[in-house]
């Protein structure tokens, strides 16, 4: 049997350059991250996902890579990475890294040799002698990106780039490219990595419809999985793939392709529900969730390092979410998303933020947390595009938020210093010693999630409860039953529990703003505004 550690994991995602600066140059580094592992451990997360830290011109937050086998010199070197990996291992923390193989930077030596016609690298990228007629089709960044093809004067041909023009797409249909991808995977596995978040999976496989070796697009996912399993049985693949639910089987396969896939459609329905303060969007989505292999898993999240992508909502629905959480044009991006942090969108209301965390942690799948959200960090909309949510971690009320001894204006991105989300008001030092802080609340929520493996192992039953604002879920696994209830509204709600508990004893796992009223006629639960409750159902004690 596989080591299925990811079924009950809680993943903490961070950007090394924005987490902690140890040498005072204004850029976070591996030494700083290693020094701050206690924060992640104390929070209760057991897995760290690192955004790209490889050598890069850094035109796209490190996703434009020039060397897959190194560390950006600003962040340290391979020795510093190994020291970090050992320190994480000593604390029982697993490491995941980004596998970005849909494209490279145009500064990568492979691309430079390809454009020069080098016999080995000539076909490592996607080239065309003439600009395709559909060059504007499939643009990922409307308003920023003009085309998916750019003319290269040296090669006198057009190269394809699904994303920015400085990110040329690798030709994954070329067997030599696929061999190199396996070499990259094997290298980082050897350095202690336990998994990969695979960037842009649908675009990696889009050109594999007819390679000469007969490899199918989804079959390639199985090929990577097999290689991974041969090298390290416990290692996993987590896919960035914003897919409709009917495609789930293609990506998970029969327990032979991807281990986890981010549930982007659920995230979109979640924000629609939060905007409406009404449960139906999430209830209906979960009720129709497809069956996936027992060893497969969705990954759930509130925020990540990109925009909140609302592209799968109807136009009217998207307008509702924009109105609630991103009403100003500067808060919106790419005609489909919001570039704000969670706490700012929820108005800094810690009751509502905590409820959102509790709900996310209770949804089916493996939860992923974006660094700083556990503190209620805000955003800096003065920064371009998605950098608004990638500001330095706020450790203390000191200059630059304790992230660096450098001046704020000399930091990799300007820290949030003004307003209610400034580091003088929102920082880790103050919250760690305050049992009522958001950090302490999220800490308790994560502890509860890790004590409830039912959520990771069983499909949810959507409960039929009165009240349009209540999301009720039941999980049953190996004789254990868990019920979670969340009030999305700003008004108290009551839930009739008698039929739900079916004569069982009720043991609270955690609670926030609830009262239990047991009478001769049954049990009624009262949830305060943005209240939530996790309950275990146990057989009645003997003699009761």
Q: What are the residue numbers of the active site?
A: 199, 240
Query: Cα 184 from chain centroid?
Result: 22
Helix H or strand E segment including 45 = none
**Cβ atoms of residues 468 and 280 within 8 Å:** yes
d(CA 304, CA 373): 10
Contact 261, 253 (CB under 8 A): no
Distance CA 502, CA 135 (A): 60
Token pair for residue 395?
């450790």
**Percentage helix, strand, coil for the chain under 3-state DSSP, each rounded to 5:** 30, 20, 45
Cα separation, 507 vs 539, in Å, equals 11
Q: Are 307 and 340 in contact (CB under 8 A)?
A: no
Residue in 40, 63, 12, 24 with CA at minimum distance from that of residue 385:
63
Bridge partners of 477, per DSSP, are: 480
Neighbours of 517 (CB within 10 A): 11
Give the CA distances from residue 338 to residues 239, 328, 335, 341, in Å, rounded to whole numbers and listed in that order.
21, 10, 9, 9
Give ∠ CA 181-50-30 in degrees, rounded to 5. Answer: 110
């Amino acid at each position: 049997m596989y080591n299925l550690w990811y079924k009950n994991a809680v993943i903490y995602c961070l950007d090394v350059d924005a987490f902690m600066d140890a040498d005072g140059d204004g850029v976070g580094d591996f030494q700083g991250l290693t020094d701050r592992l206690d924060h992640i451990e104390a929070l209760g997360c057991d897995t760290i996902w690192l955004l790209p830290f490889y050598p890069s011109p850094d035109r796209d937050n490190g996703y434009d890579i020039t060397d897959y086998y190194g560390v950006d010199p600003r962040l340290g070197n391979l020795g510093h990475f190994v020291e970090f990996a050992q320190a994480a291992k000593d604390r029982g923390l697993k490491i995941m890294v980004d596998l970005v193989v849909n494209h490279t930077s145009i500064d990568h030596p492979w691309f430079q040799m390809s454009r020069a016609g080098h016999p080995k690298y000539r076909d490592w990228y996607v080239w065309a002698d003439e600009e395709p007629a559909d060059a504007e089709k499939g643009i990922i960044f409307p308003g920023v990106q003009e085309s998916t093809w750019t003319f290269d004067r040296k090669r006198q041909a057009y190269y394809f780039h699904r994303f920015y023009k400085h990110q040329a797409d690798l030709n994954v249909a070329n067997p030599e490219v696929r061999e190199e991808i396996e070499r990259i995977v094997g290298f980082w596995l050897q350095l202690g990595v336990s998994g990969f978040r695979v960037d842009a999976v649908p675009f990696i496989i889009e050109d594999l419809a007819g390679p000469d070796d007969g490899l199918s697009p989804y079959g390639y996912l199985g090929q990577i999985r097999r290689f991974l399993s041969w090298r390290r049985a416990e290692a996993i693949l987590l896919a960035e793939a914003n897919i409709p639910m009917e495609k789930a089987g293609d990506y998970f396969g029969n327990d032979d392709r991807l281990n986890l896939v981010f549930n982007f459609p659920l995230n979109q329905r979640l924000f629609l529900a939060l905007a409406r303060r009404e449960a139906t969007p999430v209830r209906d989505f979960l009720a129709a969730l497809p069956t996936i292999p027992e060893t497969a898993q969705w990954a759930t999240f509130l925020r990540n390092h990109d925009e909140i992508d609302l592209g799968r909502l109807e136009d009217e629905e998207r307008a509702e979410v924009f109105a609630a959480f991103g009403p100003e044009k500067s808060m919106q991006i790419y005609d489909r998303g919001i570039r704000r942090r969670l706490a700012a969108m929820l108005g800094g209301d810690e009751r509502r933020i905590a409820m959102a965390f509790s709900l996310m942690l209770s949804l089916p799948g493996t939860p992923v947390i974006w660094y700083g959200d556990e503190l209620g960090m805000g955003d800096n909309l003065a920064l371009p595009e998605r950098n608004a949510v990638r500001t330095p971690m706020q450790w203390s009320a000191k200059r630059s938020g304790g992230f660096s001894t450098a001046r704020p204006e000399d930091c990799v991105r300007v820290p949030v210093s003004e307003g209610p989300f400034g580091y003088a008001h929102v920082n880790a030092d103050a919250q760690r010693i305050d049992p009522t802080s958001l950090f302490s609340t999220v800490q308790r929520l994560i502890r509860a999630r890790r004590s409830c493996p039912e959520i990771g192992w069983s499909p949810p039953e959507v409960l039929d409860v009165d009240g349009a604002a209540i999301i009720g879920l039941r999980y049953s696994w190996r004789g254990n039953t868990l019920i979670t209830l969340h009030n999305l509204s700003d008004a108290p709600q009551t839930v009739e529990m008698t039929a739900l508990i079916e004569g069982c004893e009720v043991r609270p796992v955690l609670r926030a703003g609830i009262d239990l009223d047991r009478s001769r006629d049954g049990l009624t639960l009262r949830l305060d505004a943005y209240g939530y409750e996790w309950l275990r159902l146990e057989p009645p004690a003997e003699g009761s």
